[in-house]
Structure 1
Amino acid sequence: MIQELLESNQFLLLIALLLIISVVVTKFSSRLGVPSLVLFIAVGMIIGSDGLKIVYFDNAEVAQLIGVMALVVILFEGGMQTDWKDIRAVAVPSVALATIGVLLTTAIVAVTAKFIIDLTWLESFLVGSIVGSTDAAAVFAVLKGKNIREKVSSTLEAESGTNDPMAVFLTVTFIQLLAFEDTNVWVAIGSFFWQMGAGALTGVLIGYAASKALNHINLDSSGLYPLFALGFAFLAYSVSSLIESSGLLAVYVSAVVIGNGELAYRYSILRFHEGFGWMAQILMFILLGLFVFPSDVFTGNVMWNGIITALVLIFIARPIAVLSILSFFRFTVKEMLFLSWAGLRGAVPIVLAIFPMLAGIGNSQTIFNIVFFIVLISALFQGSTIMWVAEKFHLVSEKRINPIHSLEVISIGKANVEMLEYEVTEQNQIAGETLEDLSLPDRALINAIIRDGDMITPYGQTIIQPGDTLYILVARKAKKQLKKRLQAEKE
């Protein structure tokens, strides 16, 4: 009993140290210009069986399970932060990249794998399908807080959030073709359309149900609402999986529906999921780092094959897919070249590379090692140079003016009122007006104004200035009217 207690305490100490180290690592990653996911993976490899030998981990089933759960959390957090107004304008090209683009990328990488890695054609297409899609976790992490032009960033986010079904479909199909010779290809193609359609529909339905529940069920504590929302994320994934549709697509769609609707306790929900999303990333990438044996990956043969395949993926396959599709839409050459470079690979390819190992496919360990090395190269070189490329192509815009997600709601206990935090810009109609001339709804009251770091007590003659942060107490029924007044722009 005492020995078991000591072992559990040691395990908790290890978890604590890993969390602290990982959070500190994120600070160094921004200074070094290296994506944090690379450093998280490095931490896992260092403490793993080929490093300091602190943790030995080689359980593919557990790695896959935790990887999928983490992806649900990350996709849900990213979807809630996605503005539908931004992605609606680029929905068609994004979906085209997420489907046709993945097919083109898969085919080109497969040809390379056939002649470079010396795999069979089916095994080569399996490699191509695994690395054919961009990774939502990597893209959301790299783009977060960056002021890349809306059209480009929205396209990349929408593509990465919706291209997982195609990658999963292709991976599973080629595994079935390798494992079962009598697999019906036409049935598999029909399954893909079912996965896309049913997954999207499930996401919409559960998203609307979640929005209604979050806004109308009065819980005892505001801290329960983020957990309530997270429950709907896993509900979307599990329901979709049970009907054999795309669970990850359902999660992303449901999150977009929830995040773009009226949402009580928005501040608590978004902040909780931002932190939980970071924890999911840390856990997932460290675990994947533990699962990798560096002595197997960093060999001459794997590194050579991985480098050649990665170069073809980055400089040939991805650009051909992007240019051949987006040339039919209103994208400039610089925008298309940037989207080509920003097609990051991350957790999804590594998790998908575990599928062949679970299925007992021949050369599965070789495929996993090469995929892992490709992801490292993509994250290290593409991820660390995204902002540099964006600046060179003049695709960095000024900070968004008056973004809708900057409205942070703090609910006050069980009262039917909320506190809005709103930052005034020069384009706002209310800029330059006095408080007595604002014509706010009757059930709205400005409690405080923050100006240049100082708090100002508001009174009738106080003039609202650009840059002011207003804290407004408002009844829920008047919130929509208040937001419309605050966001009105000057003619």
Structure 2
Amino acid sequence: MIESGGSTDAIVLLAGILLIVGVLTTKFSSRLGVPSLVLFMMVGMVMGSFVYFDNAKIAQMIGVLALVIILFEGGIQTNWSSLRPVIVPSLSLATIGVLITSGIVAVAVKFILGFDWLEAILFGAIIGSTDAAAVFAVLKGQNIKPRLGATLEAESGSNDPMAVFLTISMIELITIPDLSIFSLIGAFFVQMFVGVVAGLLFGKLAVWGLNRINLDSGGLYPVFAIAFALLTYGVTAFFQGSGLLAVYISAIIIGNTDIAYRHSIFRFSEGLAWMMQITMFVILGLLVFPNELFTAGNLMNGVLISFILILVARPIAVYLSTIKMNFSHKELIFLSWAGLKGAVPIVLATFPLLANIQGSNEIFNVVFFVVLISCLVQGSTITPLAEKLNLVGPKVSEPTHSLELISLGKADAEMLEYRMEEGAEIVGMSLLDIPFPTGSLVNAIIREDKLIPPTGNTVLEAGDFLYILAPRKHKKQIKELLEKKKDTKNEEQVG
């Protein structure tokens, strides 16, 4: 058996084995219909038979670092045009929804586990938010209707600060009985305000740095972007703000702005986010001892609390926090069922352990079991439920090929990737007739996963992926040309 403080060689070997097993696990998860997150945790629990690990502090540090990377990747992948219409319901779910969910779960925990009210509310706070890692992983590549997908992603990306605040506040109330609840409420608004401002500032700063600073290698740009994510979290947290919220906001700004080496940054962030997900869930699995987790009491309590959370608390929270927001009954059912739990509740469950709160071991084990049930039951049925409720939109194809200018960062050119939308003015035109800026060249067209060698007579179609090599100074002009819509009024008058 390997101890957690084993030799460096053993730790490196173990890390390699865990990552390889984690990567291979993602392949089997789709075939088995089980979310990969569940299998990651299972891998950690199995490895726990050979590796002794009980350091909650290290697990918490790894968890927070992983969440920063995962939120950053989720943020840069978020389309602002899809997010903007759902900001109000998403924020309502992320705040009011979390409070309602936490409150209902707290009442259930009070009577099921026999906790004091403060401890019961602490449990509710830990389990009250949906999890960004779980939601991003389950929805990635699915064709859920854009409005619903955007709502869930925005909610999961922005509700972590509320869960963190509630958890820390309840721990402080338990450990410091004389603490004023009004001071905690004031601290919450300060955290949110600082988080929003920091996110906006660091997002703009990151865009400026990526576009203005010429690095010696194109491979440094993705590292530069990740460094901004870590910097954003660290500085925001230092000034008592919500670092997770700041990271998510800054990532949205970066992802929706023209930046150098955009494709490389997206791919690097995606791979790093997967690695951090695997690491985080495996480590959290290692932290659990199966003989303590799978006891009759934990099984019964976990199933009861999961039942109340999934079928009572989450639906009530969704329906109440989205009143008069134009969601249909079917959409509300789907939003209720898609309130996935994941790494955040488990990471938050380490806080009471480190604070030596009475009953913290029981809290951790039951929270872990509830998360396991949520990922297994809800995560594996989200897509079938969406299909059953007719909430599945048309599939949007993604290119299976990628081109990028591989050169020194000082080159004054960039490979632009763009998907032609229906209704664009240049759809139906030949490349020869399109007024591309001087020095711009369409290098490749991907159409239905097939490479179309471009010639002057090639006619563009909706859904085509264009790869255009162009001087950086013409990026804005090319984007305007590609996004310009047809003047339908003039066409109707001519007709």
Change (3 A) 1:472 1:184: same
> 2: CA distance between counterparts of 1:229 and 1:87?
22
Equivalent residues of 1:412, 1:418 under 8 A apart:
no
* 1:440 shift after superposition: 1.4
Q: What residue is the counterpart of 1:36 in the other structure?
A: 36
Q: What residue is the counterpart of 1:24 in the other structure?
A: 24
* 1:296 shift after superposition: 0.8
Please give the per-residue CA displacement for 1:339-366, whole angstroms capped at 9, x wherever unaligned.
0000000000000000001111100001
> 2: CA distance between counterparts of 1:197 and 1:303?
41
Q: What residue is the counterpart of 2:84 in the other structure?
A: 88
Q: What residue is the counterpart of 1:376 in the other structure?
A: 372
Task: Calculate the TM-score normalised by the size of structure 1.
Answer: 0.94
Equivalent residues of 1:431, 1:465 under 8 A apart:
yes
Among 474, 481, 488, the alignment partner of 2:477 is 481
Structure-to-structure mapping, 1:115-134, within 5 angstroms: 115-134=111-130
- 13-22 or 229-238: which moved more? 13-22
Q: Secondary structure at the match of 1:421?
A: strand
* 1:459 shift after superposition: 3.2
Output the aligned Cα RMSD.
1.9
**Identity of matched residues, %:** 56
> 2: CA distance between counterparts of 1:181 and 1:454?
66
Among 436, 442, 458, the alignment partner of 1:446 is 442
Q: What residue is the counterpart of 1:305 in the other structure?
A: 301
Change (3 A) 1:82 1:181: same
Change (3 A) 1:117 1:475: same
Task: Calculate the TM-score normalised by the size of structure 2.
Answer: 0.93
Q: What residue is the counterpart of 1:347 in the other structure?
A: 343
Q: What residue is the counterpart of 1:164 in the other structure?
A: 160
Q: What residue is the counterpart of 1:328 in the other structure?
A: 324
* 1:10 shift after superposition: 3.4
1:299 counterpart letter in structure 2: T
Please give the per-residue CA displacement for 1:275-313, whole angstroms capped at 9, x wherever unaligned.
000000000000000001111110000111111011100
Q: Are 1:257 and 2:253 counterparts?
A: yes
Equivalent residues of 2:217, 2:407 under 8 A apart:
no
Change (3 A) 1:332 1:401: farther
Q: What residue is the counterpart of 1:101 in the other structure?
A: 97
Runs of 4+ in 1 over 6 A off after TM superposition: none
1:375 counterpart letter in structure 2: V
Change (3 A) 1:147 1:410: farther
1:26 counterpart letter in structure 2: T
Structure-to-structure mapping, 1:7-406, within 5 angstroms: 7-48=7-48, 51=49, 54-400=50-396
Gap regions ≥5 residues in structure 2: 1-5, 489-495
* 1:15 shift after superposition: 1.9
Change (3 A) 1:455 1:304: closer
Equivalent residues of 2:66, 2:280 under 8 A apart:
yes
Q: Secondary structure at the match of 2:381?
A: helix
Equivalent residues of 1:401, 1:425 under 8 A apart:
no
Equivalent residues of 2:236, 2:246 under 8 A apart:
yes
- 277-286 or 15-24: which moved more? 15-24
Q: Secondary structure at the match of 1:447?
A: strand
Q: Secondary structure at the match of 1:399?
A: coil
Q: Count residues in correspondence.
A: 480
* 1:180 shift after superposition: 1.2
